[in-house]
Structure 1
Amino acid sequence: MLHRDIAWRAMSGYDLDAVFDIANKVHPDFFEAREVLAERHELYRNGCYLLEVSEKPAGYVLSHPWRLGSLPELNVPLGALPEDADTYYIHDIALLPLTRGLGAAGQIIEALTKHARVMGFATMSLVAVNGSLAFWERQGFCTSDRPELADKLASYEDAARYMIKDLDQTRA
């Protein structure tokens, strides 16, 4: 359960400096330029949220429609979202250590799952890094062996895994 002073809210352009700072603290080995993060926000604002603790930025999530079985490259602008998007992709979730154990990550994943269902996606997908595999499995994601993604996954880290969550379209 979240405390009163912990809340997710829609990300705005004014939050991008804070997002960039959090990204560099939480994911120092997965650098992405501020401009790349800003483009993700610009392309799909409905998938970008900021976590605040006592009204101070403490985490974020960037997500957007994408193609199942493919990965956006790290630190490379997308240019546009694919018109034939068939999965809802979680590009990044980053939480400062002070938020761990409060349920904030699970809360935003639940909200994104509802959003993906409403938008008609049959799946969600992501790349698990930083030892997060068990967390994503608890959220309903399963590792998907995709040999064609091996080189891109290796560009993240050796332990990176492509994961998919099948969404039951009959549940709300």
Structure 2
Amino acid sequence: MTENDLPQVMEIQQQAYETAVLESESVIRARRSSSPQLAWVAEDASGVCAYLFCYPSQVGQVTPLDGDFNSPADADCLYLHDLAVASRAAGRGIGPALVKQALQRARHHQLRYSALVSVQDSQPFWSRLGYAEHAELDPPHAEHLASYCIPATYMVCHLN
């Protein structure tokens, strides 16, 4: 993902998410800057059609909505913060392809897990990709999960 991709990333976010979970352009820029090697886009003939933001983390650590990424030195997990696909590209397998790329990177760096917060009834999608609900969160991270202000589920995938 490059700086030039951000206007299209913002448009895709608007299409994909409820107003309650939209992040500002400054937050999106910070996401990209915090782990640029883990921020990807997919393109089609019309330009950017999907994006994925990730960062190293630890299982059980939930980033609050609009919160800063905290990448610990002893990361054991790749946190998928935001995956979105433009409506014009839905159903083409682009989202799973981006996730597959991210998980390959995680395995290469010997991370044992991947985690995310599922919103907008996306749990079946994530379950098909190997993620399962992880309900045991300590109180601060349970509060971070609640910051999404819509039903949200923390999910984890064990990487082999």
Corresponding residue to 1:119 among 92, 109, 116: 109
1:26 is matched with 16
Residue deviations 1:79-135 (CA, integer Å, cap 9, x gap)? x52222221000000111121111111111111111100011000000011110000
CA distance in 2, matches of 1:76, 1:158: 16
CA distance in 2, matches of 1:134, 1:20: 25
Question: More displaced, 48-57 or 159-168?
Answer: 48-57
- Structure 1: unaligned runs, 5 residues or longer: 1-10
Query: CA RMSD of the aligned region, Å?
Result: 1.6
CA distance in 1, matches of 2:62, 2:24: 18
- Structure 2: unaligned runs, 5 residues or longer: none
CA distance in 2, matches of 1:44, 1:163: 21
Written as runs of structure 1 = structure 2, the 5 A alignment for 1:44-123 is 44-78=35-69, 81-123=71-113
CA distance in 1, matches of 2:72, 2:137: 22
Corresponding residue to 1:142 among 118, 127, 132: 132
Question: More displaced, 103-112 or 129-138?
Answer: 103-112
Aligned partners of 1:146 and 1:162 also within 8 Å: no
CA change 1:55–1:98 in 2 (3 A) is closer
1:7 is matched with none
Count of aligned positions: 157
CA distance in 1, matches of 2:59, 2:24: 25
CA distance in 2, matches of 1:58, 1:87: 26
Q: How far apart are 1:152 and its partner, in Å?
A: 2.1
**Length-normalised TM-score, structure 1:** 0.84
Q: How far apart are 1:158 and its partner, in Å?
A: 4.5
Secondary structure of 1:58's counterpart equals strand
Aligned partners of 1:26 and 1:95 also within 8 Å: yes
Identity of aligned residues (%): 27
Corresponding residue to 2:157 among 143, 149, 165: 165
Question: More displaced, 27-36 or 152-161?
Answer: 152-161
Higher relative contact order (CA 8 A, sep 6+): 2
**Length-normalised TM-score, structure 2:** 0.90
